Structure 1
């Protein structure tokens, strides 16, 4: 039993480390701030525009990735299966389209850097001057 408790504790510690490094990024000419609620609405398709009025391009990590799971746990409060059900329902009814999925942090960073109305999330270690950090999870 003690062995199982150590495994659970170790897993919790490492998953916390992975979460601590994620940051929400935008283009340097994008908004200076967005609230957690605003980011959640963008990632759930409830809002389609930045505060400036520009139509936003939302970029997402691949299904099942640790970054995606940590991001949605912290921002939208949804699990992978809840997200899948949520988007399936919106797509079926024609009321929404999920964020564009990109396979790596570098792809997300490059797309956000190239588009003034884009948002994404990456590990803080991948941030450089081509993007602006809105906040750290």
Structure 2
């Protein structure tokens, strides 16, 4: 028993360090961006309604074009959890129903945050979410979660 306790005392600091490292990587920030000329109002509720297809236009009256990342991307999973309040599989099921009933179109999925940045920067009606580390002056950040 004494030997077990000694072994445990040696291993425990390593276990705690690895646990903290893992926990620190689970949560990432997500930036919601629009074209710099978009002067619409944004808050968490508006963004959620927009990305659920419940609001199809900005407060300036222009139609929205939804841009996102692959449903398996960590940023998408964070966005869905923090903003939408659902898991990625729940969001996918939600959009399947909306698409089937003809009531909306899910966000266009791109392969990287850099591609989302380019898509939003080149379209005044686009709104997207991405990794904040790639944001530059070509877009305007309207929220960070």
Give the TM-score, by structure 2 length.
0.83
Match of 2:39 in 1: 31
Aligned pairs (5 A) from 1:1-137 = 9-16=20-27, 19-20=28-29, 22-31=30-39, 33-137=41-145
Contact map agreement 1:31 1:50 (CA 8 A) in 2 = no
Runs (4+) off by over 3 Å: 1-10
Residues 79-130 of structure 1, C-alpha deviations (whole Å, 9 max, x = no match): 0110111011111211121111111111111111111111111222111111
Cα RMSD (Å)? 1.9
CA apart distance, 1:61: 0.3
Provide the rounded CA distance (Å) in 2 between the counterparts of 1:75 and 1:57: 18
Which runs of 5 or more structure 1 residues have no equivalent in the other structure? none
Residues 59-89 of structure 1, C-alpha deviations (whole Å, 9 max, x = no match): 0100211010001111000101101110111
Distance 1:10 1:40, change over 3 A: same
**Count of residues in Structure 1 that have an aligned counterpart in Structure 2:** 134
Give the TM-score, by structure 1 length.
0.88
Higher radius of gyration, 1 or 2? 2
